[in-house]
Structure 1
């Protein structure tokens, strides 16, 4: 049995390479590079009271967790515990419990009353032991970008533009409006521009040249964002504003983003969707994505 006393400590920017290496082992389908992770630790998002901890063993990062206030929902007092990672060789010794307790204690100080986290199917017994109830299943999918998907031909009146050429406030509007009815445990209905700019537009992994927006008769209607780390990418968000759905705009934007990413050296793309999000699952299937993993959102009341 490992003594976890002193094992868990607040994360430091210098931990970023170890955190990314750990994430590659535990969740190889998640994409966040070293510099992006370093910035996340050094400059946490405003309004969220974000904090993170690592577990060390023999000078190596073997565990990681972050916790914060969900500031993008109108539902009050919602806390999030994101991406609790423990290296497979260090499980079963209390590392995960120590990290979880650090995160829960932080959320208690913020006044959180409801907490959401995510668990792989094999970790659901751990989640249940700690008072969490599985809620919704998410599907993670991958797409080999060799060869690159063809650049789609948009219909008349539709333009597919790199995000780099568009005012970020217009992109935020599409992101916020498209997210209003996204399936989830809590609504994403309070996505302010400042925190969006910090977390999305200023994300060091955001590839603004590959990220693509669809413009219809001069109005921005759909977006597909690309988060990149070397030759791997993550679809940060793909969505269409209500009133313009059913025309294939999300698929056009995403295919163009995948094409541009592949042309600049990305070799594999990852994405995730709630299992109830049939429209986006259909888009991804048509683009050739294949399932690679699942996770469950898990909820707990916090007193």
Structure 2
């Protein structure tokens, strides 16, 4: 049996479905839809040199890679590769071929430091370490059953605070961009990011197929966005995910992040979603505490691996 690596064919529905299927089987804690995969490939900033690769065995997609430069980081020369192979197709060469193709692509565009998320399981970690990667920070995937009736009661906003949805900003989402940019810069990471291009944010985030503007909840203080909980949904599977929850620096420690996320979760349950997913850096104790309060449980963990290129 021969394994080959090539670029994803975004115009081939079967190819994209195969990519989504592999990702769902290997990493079921994140929402993967064909529309979102194609959108990311089409709308990621050109400076990211983004590629979606597949490993094909006898005509079947068995492995995937998403590869890009950290173009929005103030530090140049950083590349990211995330490799996932179908759990029943490992140890057949697909992962190794994808890593080689990804590293070659990134090195060819000037990357000198590579970052990869790896599931915190012995076989996955051994795979990374044998290829010269060293462990860095870790993160958790969390899951909440929305059918169990465990959500805290809905809270009324405190005086001076108003809850709105992202849909209310359809005519001018720039205030949400500005809040997102501030919170992203404070998010724990070993790759700093800066959101500075509003038009890019519109294409990559605001128009993303997974974004649910009705369930994305925003807390306004004096008419300005102060906190938000960004919701992704996949109606076909009944799954909801919190892609980001953040608060402007001047309004932290007031419970606004918890307020927006609680309203969004209640809205998701009312809309018929049955499972809520999210993820947190293992060092982000405030957000982990909030999610524990909601009833989320850790269902898997991953480790960020780093490799310096000579």
TM-score over 0.5 (shorter chain): yes
Q: TM-score, normalised by structure 2?
A: 0.92
SS in 2 for 1:180: helix
What displacement does 1:44 show?
4.0
Query: Structure 2 residue aligned with 1:268, among 262, 266, 275?
Result: 275
Question: Which residue is 1:152 aligned to?
Answer: 155
> Which residue of the partner structure matches residue 77 of structure 2?
77
Give 2:32's aligned residue.
Answer: 32
- Secondary structure in structure 2 of the residue aligned to 1:22: helix
CA distance in 2, matches of 1:191, 1:290: 34
Match of 1:8 among 5, 10, 20: 5
Q: Which position in structure 2 is the counterpart of 1:87? A: 86
SS at match of 2:265: helix
The answer to whether the Cα contact below 8 Å between 2:2 and 2:57 also exists between their aligned partners in 1 is no
1:100 maps to which residue? 99
Q: What is the correspondence of 1:223-238 to structure 2 with a 5 Å cutoff?
A: 223-230=228-235, 231-238=238-245
Contact 2:150 2:294 in 1 (8 A): no
Segments of structure 1 that go 5 or more residues without pairing to the other structure are none
Summarize the alignment of residues 79-228 of structure 1 with structure 2, pairs less than 5 Å apart: 79-82=79-82, 84-122=83-121, 123-146=124-147, 147=149, 149=151, 150-166=153-169, 167-228=172-233
**CA spacing shift, 1:182–1:282, aligned 2, 3 Å:** same
**Count of residues paired in the alignment:** 299
Normalised TM-score (structure 1):
0.94
* Partner SS for 2:49: coil
Q: Secondary structure at the match of 1:153?
A: coil
Q: What residue is the counterpart of 1:50 in the other structure?
A: 50
Give the match's secondary structure for 1:207.
coil
Match 1:285 to one of 292, 296, 305: 292
Structure 2 unaligned blocks of 5 or more: none
Q: For the Cα contact (< 8 Å) 2:150–2:295, is it kept in 1?
A: no
* Alpha-carbon contact 1:148-1:262 (below 8 Å) kept: no
Check whether the contact 1:70–1:78 (CA below 8 A) recurs between aligned residues.
yes
Distance 1:3 1:19 in 2: 18
Q: Is the 8 A contact 1:47 1:195 kept in 2?
A: no
Do the aligned residues in 1 keep the contact of 2:24 with 2:32 (CA within 8 Å)?
no
Distance 1:238 1:207 in 2: 14
Distance 1:141 1:191, change over 3 A: farther
Of 211-220 and 194-203, deviating more is: 194-203
CA 1:292 to 1:220, structure 2 compared with 1: closer, same or farther past 3 Å?
A: same
How far, CA to CA, are the matches of 2:230 and 2:196 in structure 1? 16
Superposition deviation, residue 271 in structure 1: 0.6
User: What CA distance in whole angstroms lies between the structure 1 residues aligned with 2:140 and 2:290?
Assistant: 14
The 1:170/1:148 distance shift into structure 2, 3 A limit, reads farther
CA RMSD in angstroms comes to 1.5
SS in 2 for 1:296: strand
Deviations along 1:82-121, whole A, 9 cap, x unmatched?
3x11112221121101001111111012101111110012
1:169-216 Cα deviation digits (max 9, x unpaired): 111111111122211112223443232222211101100000011101
The equivalent residue for 1:41 is 41
